[in-house]
Amino acid sequence: MSKNLIEVEHIKKYFPIHKGLLNRVVGNVKAVDDVSISIREGETFGLVGESGCGKSTLGRVILRLQSATGGAVKFNGRDIHSMNSRELNKIREEMQIIFQDPFGSLNPRFLVKDIIGEPLKVHTKQSAQEIDKRVVELMELVGLDATRRNRYPHEFSGGQRQRIGIARAIALNPKFIVADEAVSALDVSVQSQVINLLMKLQKEMGLTFLFIAHGLNVVRHISDRVGVMYLGKMAEVGETEALYASPLHPYTAALLSAIPEPTPNRKKKRIVLQGDVPSPANPPSGCRFHPRCPFAQAKCSQVEPLLEEILPGRQVACHFPLGVEGGSDLASIGR
Amino acid sequence: MAQKLLEVRNLTTGFMTEKGFVKATDRISINIEKGQTLCLVGESGSGKSVTSLSIMRLIDYAGGTILDGKIEFKGDDLAAKKQDQMKNIRGNKIAMIFQDPMSALNPVFTVGEQIAESLRLHQNKSGDEAWKEAIDLLKLVGIPAAEMRAKQYPHEMSGGMCQRVVIAIALACKPELLIADEPTTALDVTIQAQILELLMRLKEELGMAILLITHDMGVAAEVADHIAVMYAGAIVEQGTVEEIFTNPSHPYTIGLLKSIPGFEGGSSEKELYTIKGTIPGLGNLPQGCRFNPRCPHVMDKCRQVEPGDFKIGNEHTTKCWLFEDKPEVTVSGGTGGNTNV
């Protein structure tokens, strides 16, 4: 087993709520609340969950694009949240991010060659000529026509812009890339092209990915392991195939059963959750999922379950996990 | 055979641009029967939304023009109606749900007022009556504590709740046809499942027909009776949901299905199937078949002549020269595509 590249230890990110004339803090939005995960070198870790569950915040806190309220993120054994700005600048060469919106994440006033070359300009002391050579290399690597490097982003289509974002992210040969909904805004036929590109780059460059997405099918395809988040907490972590085949957490089961599948007349049981995701400013007591959980028992509303390894390689935060002795029975509900 | 509700024949809609007239939909023909669901599937820019706006005649306000074709709703040609006459049909007989529920609602009115407005306008109900019915509608779409919720503003509700309110407004006048333009695209999967279930339940209870526009083949498979696949302004394949998924025929449909991660018919390899290239701009469509530059089976003929609709199953047609030996289907209505602008 390869070693852990990223170790997230009890990370917390609270956003204070200010109110009144004196701007007093009246509460916190607990976007990420005590999450611990580890990402192994060379793997793709998929992070799924509904909007507002804190998955993007977690991705940003891991890169220290946002400072954490508590906890530590270790990159190769060194805590990046206690680094000074010089050390941080140095380590940022090795970690990059690809954003969701291929329209908003590229500066419209920059030429494409300047966008892709910018990390090189900031982090290396290469001459303009060397940078240009590298930009051509990168554009060819991601499947863009390098003769178009003197153009502006608006002259490219959505899929091509996302390739520009990918070229920028890999410019410095990073070890770790956070892909925050990198393919969500793309059409299916373009999406498959970009997914193939990401997987090819990973193989060639030995990249480690944190792949954040709400498209569960995409995550299944690309990830080695998957973490499911709900309301700032990690509900379940496991190997992709095992997790998709037999989810342990009722929330994972509900999420998976909600994927519309491109097969008509499917007779799969669907668990339609009632209600909405509660506000992270005022999360429910005990297990955060209990008001929507079809298996909730008295204990669930009082005691908060911890993320524990109950099967080899399978962690779950649930008092009564599915398919385990003494746990909940999926057959008892659904339709 | 069930009763025909909407029959669109050879609908061609477009926009005037500096470079001339651009056809956003090109000779579209679809049928919806009473109580049926038709899904219009395609990628962005394929003309799905323009089709729905044309049926509602809202395209006139979006800067477009219906150039040719007939839109027969219960035997009446909507394409020939004046906007004044359309006002009695829009919202009353045909209602529409939009993609983004937050921006479809007016932020300065309570949701109850917004539902009641449509009842007052179309059915001449009094204020009290309309308000009472608005609350009933909120209950119908599954909003708990409807009396309290009716007095709230859209910003006090979540995305899924707002979409329920939008559906309540659309249902207010008991329309016979509901056009839903990507109703769940902005929502999470668990909320999407709730909304799709709601739409299907209401369809059963109220016996209305639905024209659902989506880019998600999964959603289409779950709710549709019939599917029409659009590519670059034209319907390239049309059939019942079983026929489209078990026997997809047009190379574009096949490619689209194969490129979905995790789809059974796709490659089991780690590499996903891809359709090479990108969708052409509507202003510079290739000659011949509009899919030919991206098609893996392209022949000489495809580059020169546009194929017609070939009938390959009972209700299954495809626009591809590979099925040349099958009978060609022609739809009468309009000038049949002889539009030169």
| pLDDT score recorded for residue B272 | 83
pLDDT in tens, B9-32: 999 998 988 888 888 999 999 999
Model confidence band, residue B341 (pLDDT cutoffs 50, 70, 90):
very low
Q: Which of A7-21, A37-51, B184-198 has the lowest mean pLDDT?
A: B184-198
A/B interface, count of CB pairs below 8 Å: 111
User: Does the pLDDT of residue A334 top 80, yes or no?
Assistant: no
Distance from CA of A30 to the nearest CA of B (A): 18
Q: How far apart are CA B167 and CA B161, in angstroms?
A: 10
What's chain A's average pLDDT? Answer: 89
Q: How far apart are CA A160 and CA A144, in angstroms?
A: 7
User: Does the pLDDT of residue B156 top 60, yes or no?
Assistant: yes
pLDDT in tens, B218-249: 899 989 999 999 999 999 999 999 999 999 99
- Give yes or no for A50 touching B (CB within 8 A): yes
pLDDT in tens, B74-110: 988 998 989 999 988 988 899 999 888 888 899 999 9
How many residues does the structure list for chain A?
A: 335
Contact between A188 and B215 using a beta-carbon 8 Å cutoff = yes
| pLDDT score recorded for residue B279 | 81
Q: What is the mean pLDDT of residues A93-101?
A: 90
pLDDT in tens, B168-202: 999 988 899 999 998 888 788 888 888 898 999 99
- Please report the domains of chain B, with CATH numbers, ordered by start residue: 4-230 (3.40.50.300), 251-329 (no CATH)
- Give yes or no for B255 touching A (CB within 8 A): yes
- Which residues lie below 8 Å from residue A200, measured CB to CB, with a gap of 6+? none
Compare CB distances from B160 to A187, A255, A276 and report the shortest one's residue: A276
Model confidence band, residue B157 (pLDDT cutoffs 50, 70, 90):
confident
- Give yes or no for A12 touching B (CB within 8 A): no
Judged by DSSP in three states, B244 sits in helix
The DSSP letter of residue A87 is H
Strand partners, A210: A45, A178
Distance from CA of A98 to the nearest CA of B (A): 20
* B162: closest chain A residue by CA: A276
Model confidence band, residue B5 (pLDDT cutoffs 50, 70, 90):
very high
Distance from CA of A218 to the nearest CA of B (A): 6
Q: What is the mean pLDDT of residues A287-296?
A: 91
| pLDDT score recorded for residue A265 | 65
| pLDDT score recorded for residue A1 | 55
Q: Is the ipTM of this complex over 0.90?
A: no
User: Which one of A162, A276, A277 would you mutate to disrupt binding with B, by most B Cβ within 10 Å of its Cβ?
Assistant: A276
Compare CB distances from A214 to B188, B222, B245 and report the shortest one's residue: B188
pLDDT in tens, A149-199: 999 999 888 889 999 999 999 999 999 999 998 888 888 888 888 999 999
- Give yes or no for A262 touching B (CB within 8 A): yes
- Give yes or no for A281 touching B (CB within 8 A): no
Q: What is the mean pLDDT of residues A133-162?
A: 91
Q: Which strands make up the sheet holding A24-40, listed edge to edge? A: A24-40, A4-19, A70-75, A78-79
Q: Which strands make up the sheet holding B317-318, listed edge to edge? A: B94-97, B177-181, B209-214, B37-41, B226-231, B234-240, B317-318, B309-311, B328-329
Compare CB distances from B44 to A50, A187, A199 and report the shortest one's residue: A187
Cβ proximity of B175 and B94 under 8 Å: yes
B225 vs A267 pLDDT, higher one: B225
pLDDT in tens, B107-141: 999 999 999 998 998 888 899 999 999 999 999 88
Per-domain boundaries in chain A: 247-335
